Amino acid sequence: MSNFDSQITKARLYCEGKGARFTSLREKVYELLLSKQGAVGAYDLLDELKLTESGAKPATVYRTLDFLLEFGLIHKLESTNAFVACHHFDCSHPVQFLICDLCGEVKEIQSDGLKEKLDHQAHSVGFSVTKQTIEAHGMCSECQQ
């Protein structure tokens, strides 16, 4: 079984373990996102879906994306209004993204101590952080050459 197939199987089992169906459409959208280097917009996903799912509509894609977001299988990049697959959805984690402005590559990282520092600073002004996503734009190593 390839790593790609393994990730799809892991997602299916994860959803089923939470009492949710990982329908063929949800699987297809997740699969499309897994196959991409960068983030993908909803309408780009719709265009790709229409190649095999002639009845796909914007509402269908958005409902599917909402499900995948709710279950942590994907992340939404707010700055670009696009989506990327999450490879370690079975754990709760703060998210930081490095987004290449030239080629669109997206890397998900976990910066040691960043969440704790943010929580500490927020707490010092009476704020409680419930969700944290940081997006940093720049150039990947390939585009710097």
pLDDT digits (tens, 9 = 90+) for 43-88: 999 999 999 988 899 999 999 999 999 999 999 999 999 999 988 8
Could you tell me if residue 12 is left (phi over 0), alpha (psi between -120 and 50 degrees) or otherwise beta? alpha
Backbone angles phi, psi at 73, to 5 degrees: -80, -20
Residue 100 has pLDDT above 80, yes or no: yes
User: Rounded CA gap, 46 and 38, in Å?
Assistant: 16
State pTM to two decimals: 0.87
> Average pLDDT of the chain?
91
15: nearest Cα among 97, 61, 74, 102: 74
Cα separations (Å) of 123 from 18, 95, 112, 116, 128?
Answer: 32, 19, 19, 10, 6
| Share of residues in the chain with pLDDT > 70 (%) | 97
CA distances to 25, 115, 119, 120 from 130, in Å: 30, 11, 9, 13
Instruction: Please give the C-alpha separations between residue 54 and each of 46, 60, 108, 111, 132, in angstroms, as whole numbers.
Output: 10, 12, 32, 42, 37
Percent of the chain with pLDDT over 90: 74
Comparing 131 with 126, the larger pLDDT belongs to 126
Indicate the DSSP class of residue 132. Answer: -
